[in-house]
Chain A
Amino acid sequence: MIRLHNVSKTYPNGVLALKDVSFHIPKGQFVFLTGHSGAGKSTILRLLIAEEKPSHGDVRVSGFSINKLSKKDVPRLRRKLGIVFQDFRLLEYRNVEENVGFALEVTGTRPEQIPSRVIRVLTQVGLASKAKVYPKELSGGEQQRVALARALVNDPAILIADEPTGNLDERATRSIFQLLKEINAGGTVVVMATHNLALVRDTNYRVIELKGGGVVYDSAQEPSPSSAGTRAPDALGDVAS
């Protein structure tokens, strides 16, 4: 589903953001990307959504080679991805259902199919009753649910979440994380960059930890990857909170 092979990325200003990163994420997996700010998490996510191209190595996402992807084909890739950010990125002048329906409109979904698909996904994230409400009238957790609904409405194969709970309180964080787990249980690959160690520790999901642009820990490479608790204690200790 996702494969990075010997990937390095140097930005035009000379900053080396990734060096020789390799990993493979198969279908159905939930993966945490952890590490300090500047460790390379966001660069990996930017490569996965084709906002950047690798300087060296090969990145493959859902059958697309990011190295060879032309600008014209980027929308085709993005339609197979769901993307959520820490700052929600909702359109303030559109209500909840319009924000979600927007993702269907731009992908050319027939107008008569849009309302039913929007309601289905809003029900999934528990916001069906707030379909007509505008983002400003919602709490942070609810806004992130709208962003999740927008990411899910096109039935993506992969959900990419960049610090989705970064702006949320503990309760909202748990509720969003629960949703992400349910989404993953439905077969969607979830790649989540986070600083929240509590979430990481509470699950058995795969953890890829980055430091200085390289992978310093991958629970899938551990002799016993069945539990996050089995990892070397200093590995998690390096992760900023």
Chain B
Amino acid sequence: MSTTLREALRTARRTPLLSSLSVASIGFSLFTVGLFVLVAINFQHALRTLAERVEVVAFVLRGTPAEAITAASQDIAAFPEVLEVRFVSEEEALDRARRELTEFQEAYRDLETNPLPASLEIRLKEDLRNEQVAAVVAERLRGFAFVDDVRYGREWVRRLDRLRNLAGALGLVIGLAFAVVAVVIIGVTIRITVLQRAKEIAIMRLVGATNGYIRRPFVLEGVMMGILGGALAAAMCWGVFAAFRGSMGEVRGTLVFFGTTEIALIILFGTSIGYFGSLVSVGRHLRHV
């Protein structure tokens, strides 16, 4: 192992330009993939934030006893799709309208009777904030005698669903395409390093080196380049993210960067490409010489 490591370091030192270019090539290829994933993560994050606003509102008939509403609230909270149920009284609804609908502030101030009904606001569990579940819950709520009407912004939720599906599919396709391009570029880079050392490989074979002996330093070098390339890609992603976030003003707080797991995955991806890329390149070269 120490001989293999020494050989790998020796070749990297001997051809610093080629080694640096290889690391840069791996780094930039993974950076492209990483940047795309980063955009996708932030988009998904934004969609999740939007989805938090998906809720089902059941308007309560006037004059419904408070006990009946409390009992029903407990029943609704026990629905498997429901995260929480909140009762909004008529007064609270009016206060909220006055606060939020500023253009009607005057109209609401002069009212002698409150026209707004009380309601139950039902938030769904995170993974169930879609049109189908909302419709099922709404239907069930209509079964309560004191419920006058149920709304959940059907069209809005439907569009959100469509956007989510589209983003997921596009993300997968484009992400895979980026990953394939990265693998091809890195494979070509590693192939160049192997070809550059064809003479050395030929001499190794002449003096009786086994294929395994010849392969090991190349594979180790590929792994080292993969680790460095992966780290470079993560660093570049961070640089771009930090610069972008700095220019975003108020919404900067809503942007998210990779966690430790994702960074480890980028480096692991680079390492795997370095490992398999060099294994395949040297193997192919050895088969043909």
Contacts and interface: CB of A to CB of B under 8 A. Distances in A.
Interface of A: 49, 71-72, 74-76, 78-79, 81, 83, 89-91, 93, 102-103, 105-107, 111, 150, 154
Contacts of A102: 203-204, 207
Contact of B207 (A71, A111, A150): A150
A74 B208 CA distance: 8
A107 B207 contact: yes
Contacts of B109: none
Contact of B208 (A79, A91, A93): A79
A224 B136 CA distance: 109
A143 to B, nearest CB: 13
26 contacts: A71-B211, A72-B211, A74-B205, A76-B208, A78-B206, A79-B207, A79-B208, A81-B208, A83-B206, A89-B199, A89-B202, A89-B203, A89-B206, A90-B203, A93-B10, A93-B14, A102-B203, A102-B204, A102-B207, A105-B3, A106-B210, A106-B213, A107-B209, A150-B207, A154-B207, A154-B208
Contacts of A105: 3
B60 to A, nearest CB: 82
Contact of B210 (A75, A83, A90, A111): A75
B206 A75 contact: no
B95 interface: no
Given A93-B14, A105-B3, A78 B208 contact: yes
Contacts of B208: 75-76, 78-79, 81, 103, 106-107, 154
Nearest to B2: A111
A91 B203 contact: yes
Nearest to B206: A83
B14 A106 contact: no
B148 interface: no
B207 A91 contact: no
A104 to B, nearest CB: 9
A90 B202 CA distance: 11
Contacts of A78: 205-208
B200 interface: yes
Given A71-B211, A78-B206, 6 more contacts: A75-B209, A78-B207, A79-B208, A83-B207, A93-B10, A107-B207
Query: Which interface residue of A72, A79, A106 has the most chain B CB atoms within 10 A?
Result: A106
Interface in B201-225: 202-211, 213
B207 A103 contact: yes
B39 to A, nearest CB: 44
Contact of A49 (B204, B206, B209): B206
Contacts of B10: 93
Nearest to A76: B208
Contacts of A111: 3
Contacts of A49: 206
A45 to B, nearest CB: 12
Nearest to A74: B205
A143 B253 CA distance: 67
B213 A91 contact: no
Contacts of B209: 75, 106-107
A74 B289 CA distance: 13
Nearest to B207: A103
B236 to A, nearest CB: 32
Contact of B200 (A72, A74, A81, A91): A91
Contacts of A93: 10, 14
A103 B203 CA distance: 9
B202 A106 contact: no
Contacts of B3: 105, 111
A79 B204 CA distance: 11
B14 to A, nearest CB: 5
B203 to A, nearest CB: 5
4 closest Cβ contacts across the A-B interface?
A106-B209, A79-B208, A78-B208, A103-B207
